[in-house]
Structure 1
Amino acid sequence: MNSDYEKRALINTDKLIWEKSKYENVFKKILAIKDNQETALIKLDNSSVLNKNSLINSVEIFVLEGIYVNEYGEFEKGTYLKLSKEDEAQVSSKNTCVIFRKTNHFSNNEQVIINTQKTNWLEGQGNLEVMPLSDQTALVKWPENERFLAHKHWGGEEIFVLSGTFMDEYGAYVKNTWLRSPHLSEHFPFVKEETIIFVKTGHI
């Protein structure tokens, strides 16, 4: 398990097998776990309840497929949620839902819910477009053949590739690839096709 935050981590999540949880029709692909913090993909099939006895201290979610349901409402593909608490006994889905989720990674009372499919992109550096989601978290859209300056990650960087292929001098990372780079790591990113990434910085 990717618990050493001082090392680079890379997973093509499409190559992982969905692991059954103890609850019916709930499956996980765990990407990293340390103490009570977890980063994972979770799949909720029909008639599933995520956890009947758990209250998460904090949760950060990006809905990848389907409709995610919790005590705050129903959220379609492309919705970002950052909640200081969530009652997992009220988490379910309509049909099949897949989410990227981080639990217990922050301790403030921040609550953010953004439907990224209905939110405008902002101009970023170079030809990039950016959609801020919360502190140090954003979607970044790379146009075809865009190259970025070589840079270091103060506090590290975490990326989940939502579409296209993200690239740097170390390799090419297709859709559904998860990357984590440690504090002061450095790379020179670029793309050949339009690519959208979910990115967090400074939290490692």
Structure 2
Amino acid sequence: MLLNADFTKHAVVIPDNAQWTCSPQPGVERIMLDRIGHEQARATSLVRYAPHSEFPMHSHPGGEEILVLSGTFTENGTDYPSGWYLRNPDGSSHQPSSHEGTTIFVKLRQMVKNENQFIRIDTNDSSNWHRMTQRDICPLYSDNMESVALIKLAAGERLFCSPVSGGAEILLLEGEMTDPNGIYPKGSWLRFPPGDMPALIAYAGGVTLYLKTGHLNPATLTGVFP
């Protein structure tokens, strides 16, 4: 399967155009955002667990990145409520489940092989947030290939003031953003190719968003298979 697999082009998925589909595991549904491959895929998805659903123990070649959007996600018996960020490196394994139900944002097979950190960050903890360049930022991960953070923007603030040399990917967690093409509501996913300078501006009330940059540089793009 190829879905939004050309990383030189813009990609946008807004909630009104998204469709939940069943995964092979009972009680687990997903919205596919981008994908190269079938069940063993380089993929970016929203995944929804019904209450009392679980996956069997499995490994993750190429790593896995998770942001818990609602409910409580459980991994190997440890609970991670809404707002937790998890990063499991290449070759790691786990048994995920949810007692109450959860929705998570997931990126699979997109890490370099020499990344070996397990990261767990509670973005609800105010000590993880910092004021930088007139915006609030919760850093999640950074290396010489990519940077990942949650960002809060005030109404009217522009997200990008220069081209994104390695591309950018956004998930709107709270609020709305606008550009000349329209308004993007909460839950919208947007991806921009290297060299673009999106004219995204926070709409009334401000926004909170997940932002990953740098990872779409052709020289460092990982998990793209022939």
TM value normalised by structure 1:
0.91
Other-structure match for 2:179: 168
Other-structure match for 1:114: 121
Structure 2 gaps, min length 5: 217-226
Q: Aligned runs of 1:18-167 on 2, under 5 Å?
A: 18-35=20-37, 36-50=41-55, 52=56, 54-57=58-61, 58-71=63-76, 73-84=78-89, 85-88=91-94, 90-106=95-111, 107=113, 108-120=115-127, 121-125=129-133, 127-135=134-142, 136-148=147-159, 150-167=161-178
TM value normalised by structure 2:
0.83
Give per-residue Cα distances to partners, 1:16-53, cap 9 Å, x unaligned: 22111121101111100125311001011122123x36
Query: Which aligned runs of 4 or more in structure 1 are off by greater than 3 angstroms?
Result: 85-88, 147-150
Structure 1 gaps, min length 5: none
Give per-residue Cα distances to partners, 1:147-204, cap 9 Å, x unaligned: 3563211110000000001223333211000000001111233223210010000001
Alpha-carbon contact 2:192-2:198 (below 8 Å) kept:
no
* 1:148/1:137 CA distance change after superposition, 3 Å: closer
Normalized per residue, which structure has more strand? Answer: 1
* 1:95/1:2 CA distance change after superposition, 3 Å: same
Matched pairs, number? 201
Other-structure match for 2:4: 2
Q: Distance in 2 between matches of 1:149 and 1:47?
A: 41
How well do the aligned residues superpose, as a CA RMSD in angstroms? 1.7
